[in-house]
């Protein structure tokens, strides 16, 4: 099975500062990768997904961006954080687009002050 | 488009009580159905899944049966424990989507 690593685990950043969250995957090749955000007490919102290196699809227009520089690396970034960017960010991996089970990382809790 | 609707929470039960969390779905094709569990401060873990009609997924005493006729995948457990306290997400995936569709989540609290 796949193992998803995320770091940092927790991050406190001031408004207007940059952001970089990293996700790496073990145990599979050519995975489909996903970034979700979970606001406090809310469900999951899909932010980005990627079916291959350099291929990023955005689901929600916002001040965040994603990149996939290597097959099993997925990065979530922002140039200037907003208060509304606070939340729990989850990276997920799936071996098969659409019908495959998604495996999740432990998440990064981001607090923007 | 495809979607999942699950029972709103929070749900509070006493230890050893019977649990049902309802989940219904809308899909144009034949999706796979999942239940995920999220313990406090952690990511989501796959609890069980079913890939075709009448399949029953089971794990750790939890069960859910894929009912095509009622488009449902209700989660059940006969006797809950305090350690089952978590948020439970119903989800579906379909070859027509690039992502998985999640319900809003149901928070379960089990009291001793």
Query: pLDDT tens digits, residue range B72-108?
Result: 999 999 999 999 999 999 999 887 666 788 999 999 9
CA distance, residue B23 to nearest chain A CA (Å): 14
Query: pLDDT tens digits, residue range B8-63?
Result: 889 999 999 999 999 999 998 889 999 999 998 889 999 999 999 999 999 999 99
CA distance, residue A98 to nearest chain B CA (Å): 4
**What is the pLDDT, as a whole number, of residue B97?**
66
Determine, for residues A100 and B34 on separate chains, whether the beta-carbon distance falls below 8 Å.
Answer: no
Determine, for residues A32 and B98 on separate chains, whether the beta-carbon distance falls below 8 Å.
Answer: yes
C-alpha torsion B71→A43→A37→B1, nearest 10: 30
Provide mean pLDDT across the span A91-109: 84
Q: Which of B44, B89, B94 sits opposite A98 (nearest CB)?
A: B94
Q: In angstroms, what CA-CA distances link B90 with A14, A56, B97, B105?
A: 34, 26, 16, 7
Position A97 confidence tier, pLDDT thresholds 50, 70, 90: low
Q: Which of B43, B98, B104 sits opposite A90 (nearest CB)?
A: B43
């Amino acid at each position: 099975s796949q193992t998803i690593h995320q770091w940092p685990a927790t991050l406190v950043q001031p408004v207007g500062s940059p952001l970089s969250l990293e996700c790496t995957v073990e145990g599979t090749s050519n995975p489909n990768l996903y970034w979700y955000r979970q606001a406090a007490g809310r469900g999951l919102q899909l932010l980005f997904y990627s079916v291959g290196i350099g291929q990023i699809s955005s689901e929600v227009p916002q001040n965040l961006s994603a990149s996939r520089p290597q097959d099993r690396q997925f990065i979530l970034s922002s140039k200037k954080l907003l208060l509304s960017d606070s939340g729990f960010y989850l990276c997920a991996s799936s071996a098969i687009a659409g019908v495959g089970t998604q495996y999740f990382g432990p998440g990064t809790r981001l607090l923007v002050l | 488009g495809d979607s999942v609707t699950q029972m709103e929470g929070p749900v509070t039960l006493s230890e050893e009580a019977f649990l049902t969390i309802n989940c219904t779905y809308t899909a144009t094709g034949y999706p796979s159905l999942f239940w995920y569990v999220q313990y406090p401060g952690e990511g989501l873990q796959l609890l069980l899944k079913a890939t075709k009609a009448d399949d029953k997924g089971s794990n750790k005493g939890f069960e859910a049966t894929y009912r095509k006729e009622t488009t449902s995948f209700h989660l059940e457990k006969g006797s809950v424990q305090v350690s089952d306290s978590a948020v439970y997400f119903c989800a579906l995936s379909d070859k027509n989507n690039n992502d998985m569709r999640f319900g809003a989540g149901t928070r379960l609290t089990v009291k001793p």
